[in-house]
Structures are given as C-alpha cells and as structure tokens.
Chains A and B, each alone.
Chain A
Amino acid sequence: MINPAPAAAAPLVALRHVYQTYKKDNHLLRVLQDINLEIHPNEILCLVGESGCGKTTTGKIIAGLLTHTEGEVLFKGRPPASYTGARERADLRRTLQIVHQDPFASLNPAHTIGQILSYPLQRHGMVSGRAALRRRIWELLTLVDLTPPGDVVNKYPHQLSGGQRQRVSIARALTVQPGLIVADEAVSMVDVSIRIGILKMLHRLREELRLAIVFITHDLALAKYFAWEGRIAVMYLGRIVEIGPTPQVIGQPAHPYTRALLAAVPEADPDLTRHKQQIPLRSEDIPALAAIPPGCAFHPRCPFHVPGLCDASLPPLAVPAGFQQQAACLPLHQPEGLRRYGT
C-alpha cells in the first residue's frame, strides 16, 4: 500500500476555518466565517437559522458542490485536490449526495421515474445489464416506500404528489450508494400530514444504509424531532453561534440568539404557546451581510449584550460552564455570565 488509509476515526467531511466570500458592487459579502464542522458516518447534523445565515452555503460545501474561499475542507481526511484520477473522483462524488427543497424543480418533467433513476445507475456503472438495472430500480422504489414500484416506474413527475416526488428525489440520491446526504429543506414544501412519514423514512435509511444526514431547515420544531439523536448547529450571519447535542441545545439553549429563536416559535398547543416567555430583541431587523456588526454579530439585537465587551471582540465558540454544547457568547463565558441569564 502506497497510500495508507487514514485512521478509521477520520470524519466523512471536515470543515476547518472555512470562509466563503462573494464580491458584490465593491462590497465584500462574508457569507461564511470560520466554520468548523465534522460529520461522521451515520451521524445526523442539523443546520438551523434564518434566511441568509449561510446554512445552504454550508450544505453545498459539505456536499462538495461549492468551492470555499478560505480554509480547509477534508473529505475522508483528505483535501479534494488529492483525489486524482477519474475513478477516485467519481467515488468521492458518489459518496456525497444532496436532496433539494423543490421536488417540482429537481426532477426532469420530460422523463419517467424509471429513467430518472436509471441515469445515475448507468453513469456510475452501479449495475450491468437491463435485468439488473430494472431490479435495482425496483429495490430503490421499495426502499423509499413507493410501492408497488410497478405503479410508479413509468409515471412522469407531474403525475405524483409532492411527497411522492420527494421520495423519488431521495431514491435518486440513493442510486449511487452515498455515505452522506445533505437534505436542504427537503420537506418544507411537503404537506404537514406527510412530512413526518418522509422524516421517518430518512431515519430508517440512515440506520439500514449507515448514512450520515445533514438536515438543513428553518423549522426548529422539525429540527428537534429529526435530529433528536444527533447534533444541531445554530447559524447567524455566517457563523455557527451554538452547536451541540439536540436535546441540550433545544432544552437548555445557551446563546441568546438560540434562546430568542426558541422562544419565538409558536407551538401547536394553545396553552403552551400563549404562555411562552418571550425574549424581546433590541432591534427587529437582521443586519445586512455587507455590514456585519463588529464583535458578536448579534449584539445590536441582543437584550443581554454588555457594552464594551460584545461589540469589541469576537466571541469564541466554546463550552460555557454548566452546559454541554458550545456557544459563541462572551458574557456566557465569564464567571458571572450564568447569573445574568438566570439559568
């Protein structure tokens, strides 16, 4: 062996100090700043945050669809440039798959479901021979609960419901036997009554196929349900402000932004939702990416901010005393921090 395999513990994807910057009308848009993440096989990681926080950009970098401006991205412990040769590159591409939000836009309307699934199977040489191809398509449709497959395989996307189409998208991602699926708002366009079925299926696939799933959503209740056994990363203006095990982040949020978000979410329970303690923000509006506030980007809106501290220096992402998750908040890291929050 010339190239010793990296240690078994090497994460599927690792982002180290990743920055993403765009230039727009002579402004620098800092879309992502100092993102550090590791995704291990069979893990669930949920990226949550408001629009423009960088969650989709992060997802695309994880899926290898976007090149970052600064920092390091490692796939199975190796930078992408070290994947030389058509074979290796194809293997890497196979490992990382993405499921998009809109199943109306992501499936070609002129092709049948059978055709849609057969292209990646043939392109990547996953099967040989017509019989094997047909068998594999049947297997995949069964795997995503589109049964009996014979009813679906010759249909066009417009003949399926939104939920069924999203199942086809997932089946297509599975054609190449990936190790990781990035699901970007994958159920937000699907009706409420059907969502849970798709999420349960993703859970089952994760177990059966040892998949890692990066689940991107703006819906915190859905994130909580889906990622209960995994981690949640809360993003704000291009940075991760809090990350840790889901029960801790949702049950005992540390960062004021996470706390404000959780308090703001209405609940499907009249008594619960009408008695929720709100955290009033100092400003309603989210700053523009072209003018991210100095220090902690949340300080102009944060009700707990300390003048001279929060607006002056960048808070490190670290575990505050009394918590199990990491949070980027300076007052929280000071001895008197906890008392200020009344936790």
Chain B
Amino acid sequence: MTVTPAAPEVVLSVRNLCISYLTRRGRLRAVNKVSFDLHAGETLALIGESGCGKSTINLGLIRLLPPTGTIDSGEIVYRRRDGQTVDVRGLTTGQLRQFLWRECSMVFQGALNSLNPVIKISSMIYDTAAAHGMDKKEARDRALDLFQKVRLDPRRVFNAYPHELSGGMRQRTLLATALLLRPQVVLMDEPTTAVDILTQRSIIDVLKRLREELNFSVIFISHDLAVAAEIADTVATMYAGEIIEMGPVAEVFYRPRHAYTLGLLEAAPRLSVGREELHSIPGSPPDLVEPPPGCRFHLRCRFATDECRTTPPPLTTAPEDERHTVACYHTATILKTRQEELARD
C-alpha cells in the first residue's frame, strides 16, 4: 500500500527552503530550512496546526506569496516529463505563467473563491486552455472527460455558473480543472475542509481514483490527520515552520519518533475505537519572530531535557526505515510510548 517500488523519479525537489514575511514587528521566518523530494505518483501530506507554515510552503513552491513574503534561500527544482530540470525560483513571470497549470496546478480551500462568479465553467476552461495554447475542441473534450471522472454530470456542469453548483460539486470542478493541462504536480490546500462528511468522502474517493488513473503527484496540506491517514503515501509533520518528522504514512502513524507527532496522534479521536483516552498538547505554538532556542517544540514537550532547550536537534534517519527522518533527541522513548498506547487499544 505505501511501499514505493524501485524509487520512482523525483518530480519536485526542495532543499533548505526558507520563506519569511515582513511584519510590523520584524521579519517572521514562516518556513525554515525545509527539504523534501516529491516522487512521481506520490501523495505527500503536510500536516500541522494553523501558522505552522504549511500553506506558505505551497504558495512559495508556485511563487504566489503575498507581497510581504519572500523566499530568502533554498532550491526548488522541478523535473519535466522530458527530463529537463527547471529552477522554479529563477523563472521569469512569463515562464511562471506557462509553468503553472501545465506543470504544476493548485486547488485551494473554499472552492467558491477560486471560481469567477460571473463566467460559466466552460469559459473558465476555455480561458485556461487558451492561455496555454490548447485548442478549444481538445479543452472541451478533456474537460468533459475529467468531469465524468470526478462524478459530475459533464454537460450540466460545463454550462453552469458556479452558483448553480453545490459546494462539493464546485470542489470537484476545481479538481478536474486543475488536471486540464495534465500537470505532474497538484498542490492542494485543505481541499476537504469546510465541506460536509459525505461530500468529503466523495472528494477523497474521486481523488484516489484520479490518482490511480492519471498518476500525478500531490502535495496535500491539511490539519486533519484522518484525511492524511487515508490518502497520503508520505506524511510530513510541520511545527513552527519546520518539517520535524517525515516518512511513509504507516511509519509516521504507528511508529512516530517526534514528540509533536505523538502529541497530535494522542489528540485525534477515532470513531471505530470504543472509549478513548485522549490528551491535548499544553501551551500554544511559539512566536516565529523570536523562536525559542533549541528545539522549537521544547516548551510544550513532556520529554524535553537540557539539550532540547539549547541545541536544535539534527534531522536523523530511523534505523528501521531510511525514508523516515526526524528531528528529535528522544526518538526511542517516543516510539516506545506510542507502541504501548497502540497495544492498549
């Protein structure tokens, strides 16, 4: 289920990405030294609480940061289907416009805000296609086919205005539109937040099927561990602007090695498990203008020791699985705690 056979190609490679915002109180480092590889066909879930930097990463990857945000350093390298690599940070505005949609597209939270209320879905499709040199006939055929794939009534939706569609239909319309120009990477920011349970289910199912049929890669941003558990191949936990743990989904959920990941799991209620003992994480996330020294989580961590308070823990690889990396001094204790909890269930 989560095993990647013979490591498929890397389509997006991010190294030491740092992004900051200029605020009245000074520079705020929203993303700090983030590195990861996204492989062909892989779904990477970035999970974390509000303000952890997950949305900023997504906006940075496609250079759509607000005017106060800048990429300070780091590399974003995208590999095209023909094998050529693209330095995303070096793209001119014109090149970026071609890069978006064709190579990398995005689906944002709140579908209504992403759809122009005064034009029909068909016009939006045609506009997008024209901007990238796809002819009208091909765009129409492709859109109708994609609408079918996302379980929409193709003709009805194609000729509809956004307000004529329900929330779930709009979100699926956006998903289909994002795939119009056959991008290799789709960025999704909380696509199932603020929708109803049954709508969320249909979006998840549609996304899973599309991925199997079209084999694109996804970076999926969510605060919802359950959705990540369901659709992700790889999970990266973010805290205070940093990826503090990353690995295959089963590794991160069943064998977490960072205290924050453990804390998130201990706070997540599960329906199919009878009475549960849950715990929340004390305190609140740190101020990113002046982040605490050492491990950024140490003020809220029940395992914290002196070295956590002074020296940031380096990213290390788990002995059992080299794809599992973590920045914590107490991996063994945390792993043991989780295993004991799972045994109790």
| A associates with B | yes
Binding site for B on A (CB under 8 A): 50-51, 161-164, 191-198, 200, 218, 220-222, 224-225, 228, 247, 250-251, 260-262, 264-274, 276, 278, 281, 284-286
Q: How far is the CB of A153 from chain B (nearest CB, A)?
A: 19
Separation of A228 and B2 alpha carbons in the complex (Å): 34
- By the criterion CB–CB under 8 Å, are A51 and B196 in contact? yes
- By the criterion CB–CB under 8 Å, are B274 and A191 in contact? no
Closest 6 CB pairs of A and B: A264-B201, A197-B280, A268-B268, A196-B280, A266-B226, A193-B281
Within 8 A of A (CB), among B47-102: 49-50
- By the criterion CB–CB under 8 Å, are B168 and A284 in contact? yes
Specify the chain A residue showing the minimal Cβ separation from B165.
A285
Separation of A260 and B204 alpha carbons in the complex (Å): 15
- By the criterion CB–CB under 8 Å, are B267 and A195 in contact? yes
- By the criterion CB–CB under 8 Å, are B271 and A281 in contact? no
- By the criterion CB–CB under 8 Å, are A261 and B274 in contact? no
- By the criterion CB–CB under 8 Å, are B196 and A273 in contact? no
Binding site for A on B (CB under 8 A): 1-2, 49-50, 151, 166, 168-169, 196-202, 204-205, 223-227, 229-230, 249-250, 253-254, 263-265, 267-272, 274-276, 278-282, 284
Q: A225-B269, A262-B271 are in contact. List 14 more A-B contacts (CB 8 A).
A: A161-B284, A192-B49, A196-B267, A221-B270, A224-B269, A250-B271, A264-B198, A265-B201, A267-B230, A268-B226, A269-B229, A273-B229, A284-B199, A286-B196
Specify the chain B residue showing the minimal Cβ separation from A226.
B269
Query: Which of B230, B249, B278 has the most C-beta atoms of chain A within 10 angstroms of its own C-beta?
Result: B230
Specify the chain A residue showing the minimal Cβ separation from B195.
A51
Contact of A221 among B202, B269, B280 (CB under 8 A): B269
Specify the chain A residue showing the minimal Cβ separation from B172.
A284
Separation of A160 and B197 alpha carbons in the complex (Å): 31
- By the criterion CB–CB under 8 Å, are A50 and B198 in contact? yes
Contact of A192 among B253, B264, B276 (CB under 8 A): B264
Separation of A269 and B225 alpha carbons in the complex (Å): 8
- By the criterion CB–CB under 8 Å, are B223 and A192 in contact? yes
Contact of A271 among B199, B204, B250 (CB under 8 A): B250
Separation of A284 and B201 alpha carbons in the complex (Å): 10
